A and B are shown apart, each in its own frame.
Chain A
């Protein structure tokens, strides 16, 4: 009973929830991480794996094989991993002892066939040692330029030959434009079947993004009004309060459009706008996402500059916390024209959404860190009541992706008093308050799904290509006539350049200021 008493620590969490998750069982396997000495492995992947272990969602017959060029031993790899798990290890010291027995390391250079041959032998050894049933998931946490070569090397070593037992997880970005994504897809498909490829987008690992599907397709009250007859506009925002930090080298070549919009925001768009799938199965869902992306277009393809605003943060902040401008950041070209902010107006040419504008925006050094989808409903056809605030406000459904995950519905009610005047109120749902346990971090969910072989939350080749195709007019202008899409400066800590407000003002709309 001693340990039971330990469980009953506080009613802030629901003690009956502790240890109760009914998760699908991950089959025995070896997860091979290429780029094991890198930041992502230490900051995200291994912590996510340890979390899965603590939650008993990893089987005992499991191993992690770290691979990188550094000549580490198994023990060195374990020691390198430890600091990134300090707090988690302190909470679960016995768990770490057990988990770390399944951590191995093999120096591998993906360009050297002899290294791959050695890797194959090492996997055989680990399979015998840990009974991993020949199931292998390869996680390519390496430079995107190595994705194609990595798949080729794995295939040449015979490590992808069994599509039932081997799969490859690839991080974003998947290409830098439509042509490069198509070429990469072609290359990858040469060496593995599409069902073996898991293109990860960590936004899809967020409970709240997945909840958009549940909200829409598990309730009868939303789907009938989820269309152009009732919705007047949709805003999708992913705002960051940080700047480029240590990623200037990468960010200079990518910018906000490639870094955030083509993947994360477009996935949110797809899930918000897709048609209901016939069944909740990976391919039916991915079919619907691909279809809606294929029907999406920039609001003005002929003049992309009228549907897109680019911005770049300048010096700002307060006297206590001054913020450096983008062009002054270490590693950034002082004359850089890379956008740190982008806002776009899109349309979806289908029966459900024809004529409804979708506004996407993302930026760095904005006032708040948040991601949300805002659906604004059409005005009531007749205004019977005076509004307390002068004009009634349209109903609005806000799906908060992060932080304070949840949803919020704004509607009009009678203001207290003798008259019949209306005022808006908000009905709020918060994940933290409604459930007795915290949500998993996105990588926990996605790693588990990849190891389960469930591709539902991973992007398929046609989705990736449709997403790049959607922004090709903008990328073409940036290539051929960049002066048409200048970067508008905005002060760090504000909601972006004024031109971005103008984009909506033309439609008599305003960005939501959360």
Chain B
């Protein structure tokens, strides 16, 4: 399939869109480094200079999109961009394949089911060429998009393009970037990975956005996600154990890591903190006896990260954790005063699941009080009612209820937020919560 011109999506803001300096050029991978060098390091002073920003290395398998394209469930090219048409096609496929109605569109079970379906359509592959405007606005110095194909034996193709922002009137500095698109079967790509290292611009930060399940293609992951590169992962994709193990390992090793699943929790963190902002309620934080967290489906990462954040902030230490017979995770902690509060993360039935598996849909926090009925704080996602959490007489306590907007917006918006002003260290809250969440996941 031929590569169309490099067409960045127009950005949402007033920043001028980037324009290509050249048509995408197919080159053997071994010729790419010298070509890139010539592109920016020539002696012609009038030529634009390479932006001193960062390298973004994206593992972009888009397995769901590729499978839907192959089986005819999604029309149009494969883009690697999370878009409404993709989510809608995934929802339809879930119905047609007879998967449980609570299956989230990005649940790996859907990809597994699609793999068993017949189909040989080959949609155009625009991964790495349709750059989200919000990312191109940041002018990556180099964008390397590594795009595995369903055909594991497909040979490696590489193509390069350079782009510049439209110069402002009067502007003298034109900082530009380039894009390298690699495409091929996973084993073929894995065999060529050592050729990618020299393409990472020295002296500039390098971000590795692993846009797939953390346990996907470990031979590639280990090679691309080398420290001190900064990692962006999404623990909602794939298996909870794989995600949390990786998160815990990388945090402990000191590598900078961002988990998009953690960032989606921010409205929950804010809403819960808000419930305890009034000074009259703050002492109740020392008297929590039980926390219930409801999640969508059986992917526990987000629920455990939320629970771990609360426990870490309150200075609780984990005593033990186990699965119950209904698949919920029961954890017992010890508070600084010696009491032993419980935390239960339970899969809850959801009629219309959000795109990502394991999204938190409800939280209930119960406290005891020396006098009076104690406090019951209920937060519930707008996707789910509060009714289940209101049961069991909990609301006979002093009740605080909030509805929390479930954040499941465009993936690129989260990535842009990270890239636009990133840090070379992991967020301290995630550092604590990530390690504890990994410990809270009991052995199967």
Which residues from B are CB-within-8-Å of A131? 52-54, 203-205
Q: For chain B residues 210-227, which have a beta carbon within 8 Å of chain A?
A: none
Question: Residue A472 at the B interface, CB < 8 A?
Answer: no
Question: Residue A482 at the B interface, CB < 8 A?
Answer: no
Question: Residue B429 at the A interface, CB < 8 A?
Answer: yes
Which residues from A are CB-within-8-Å of B53? 28, 131, 133
Task: Judge whether B432 and A22 touch: CB under 8 Å.
Answer: no
Which residues from A are CB-within-8-Å of B276? 14, 16, 436
User: With A and B bound together, what is the CA distance between A480 and B273 in angstroms?
Assistant: 59
Chain A residues within 8 Å of chain B by Cβ, number: 41
- Of B67-75, B181-189, B277-285, B386-394, which binds chain A? B277-285
Task: Assess A133 versus B51: contact at CB under 8 Å? Given A128-B203, A434-B277.
Answer: yes
Question: Residue B266 at the A interface, CB < 8 A?
Answer: yes
B405 to chain A, nearest CB (A): 13
Specify the chain B residue showing the minimal Cβ separation from A57. B421
Task: Judge whether B420 and A27 touch: CB under 8 Å.
Answer: yes
Which residues from B are CB-within-8-Å of A225? none
Task: Judge whether B168 and A14 touch: CB under 8 Å.
Answer: no
Task: Judge whether A12 and B421 touch: CB under 8 Å.
Answer: no
- Of B22-30, B241-249, B311-319, B322-330, which binds chain A? B311-319
Question: Residue B42 at the A interface, CB < 8 A?
Answer: no
User: With A and B bound together, what is the CA distance between A435 and B276 in angstroms?
Assistant: 9
- Residue of B52, B278, B314, B423 near A133 (CB, 8 A) is B52
Task: Judge whether B313 and A18 touch: CB under 8 Å.
Answer: yes
User: With A and B bound together, what is the CA distance between A58 and B315 in angstroms?
Assistant: 27
B189 to chain A, nearest CB (A): 28
Specify the chain A residue showing the minimal Cβ separation from B15. A164
Residue among B286, B315, B428, B436 with max Cβ neighbours from chain A (10 Å): B315
Q: For chain B residues 274-298, which have a beta carbon within 8 Å of chain A?
A: 276-279, 282-283, 285-286
A60 to chain B, nearest CB (A): 4
Q: For chain A residues 5-41, which have a beta carbon within 8 Å of chain B?
A: 5, 7-8, 11-12, 14-20, 22, 25-28
Task: Judge whether A161 and B170 touch: CB under 8 Å.
Answer: yes
A453 to chain B, nearest CB (A): 11
Which residues from B are CB-within-8-Å of A435? 277
- Residue of A19, A25, A60, A433 near B420 (CB, 8 A) is A25
Chain B residues within 8 Å of chain A by Cβ, number: 50
Specify the chain B residue showing the minimal Cβ separation from A128. B52
Which residues from B are CB-within-8-Å of A28? 53, 421
- Residue of B270, B272, B422, B427 near A60 (CB, 8 A) is B422
Task: Judge whether B139 and A133 touch: CB under 8 Å.
Answer: yes
User: With A and B bound together, what is the CA distance between A131 and B316 in angstroms?
Assistant: 40
Question: Residue A165 at the B interface, CB < 8 A?
Answer: yes
Which residues from A are CB-within-8-Å of B424? 60
- Residue of B203, B310, B428 near A16 (CB, 8 A) is B310
Task: Judge whether B171 and A15 touch: CB under 8 Å.
Answer: no
Task: Judge whether A56 and B173 touch: CB under 8 Å.
Answer: no
User: With A and B bound together, what is the CA distance between A131 and B201 in angstroms?
Assistant: 11
Which residues from A are CB-within-8-Å of B273? 14, 16-17, 20, 436
Q: Binding site of A, secondary structure by majority: helix, strand, loop or mixed?
A: loop
User: With A and B bound together, what is the CA distance between A11 and B15 in angstroms?
Assistant: 45
Per-position binary interface string of chain B over residues 353-386, scored 1 when its CB falls under 8 Å from any chain A CB and 0 otherwise: 0000000000000000000000000000000000
B177 to chain A, nearest CB (A): 11
Q: How many A-B residue pairs have CB under 8 A?
A: 126
Which residues from A are CB-within-8-Å of B282? 11-12, 14, 436
Which residues from B are CB-within-8-Å of A7? 312-313, 315
Which residues from B are CB-within-8-Å of A133? 51-53, 139, 175
A309 to chain B, nearest CB (A): 42
A425 to chain B, nearest CB (A): 20
Task: Judge whether A20 and B429 touch: CB under 8 Å.
Answer: yes
B415 to chain A, nearest CB (A): 12
Which residues from A are CB-within-8-Å of B15? 164
Task: Judge whether B312 and A434 touch: CB under 8 Å.
Answer: no
A165 to chain B, nearest CB (A): 7
Question: Residue A61 at the B interface, CB < 8 A?
Answer: yes
A16 to chain B, nearest CB (A): 4
Question: Residue B417 at the A interface, CB < 8 A?
Answer: yes
Q: For chain B residues 427-444, which have a beta carbon within 8 Å of chain A?
A: 427-429, 432, 436
Question: Residue B1 at the A interface, CB < 8 A?
Answer: no
Task: Judge whether B278 and A434 touch: CB under 8 Å.
Answer: yes
Specify the chain A residue showing the minimal Cβ separation from B423. A60
Question: Residue B155 at the A interface, CB < 8 A?
Answer: no
B127 to chain A, nearest CB (A): 25
Question: Residue A330 at the B interface, CB < 8 A?
Answer: no
Task: Assess A16 versus B313: contact at CB under 8 Å? Given A8-B336, A11-B285.
Answer: yes
Question: Residue B120 at the A interface, CB < 8 A?
Answer: no
Which residues from A are CB-within-8-Å of B313? 4, 7-8, 15-16, 18
Specify the chain A residue showing the minimal Cβ separation from B282. A11
Task: Assess A19 versus B428: contact at CB under 8 Å? Given A12-B282, A27-B421, A436-B276.
Answer: yes
A337 to chain B, nearest CB (A): 47
Question: Residue A491 at the B interface, CB < 8 A?
Answer: no
Specify the chain B residue showing the minimal Cβ separation from A26. B421
**Could you name 12 residue pairs across A and B whose Cβ atoms are closer than 8 Å?**
A7-B312, A11-B285, A16-B313, A19-B428, A27-B421, A61-B54, A127-B52, A133-B52, A133-B53, A158-B172, A162-B168, A164-B168
Q: Can you add 8 more A-B contacts, CB < 8 Å, to A4-B436, A16-B273, A436-B282?
A: A3-B428, A5-B315, A19-B427, A26-B421, A28-B53, A58-B421, A127-B52, A158-B172
Interface, chain A (partner B; CB < 8 A): 1, 3-5, 7-8, 11-12, 14-20, 22, 25-28, 56, 58-61, 127-128, 131-134, 158, 161-165, 433-436
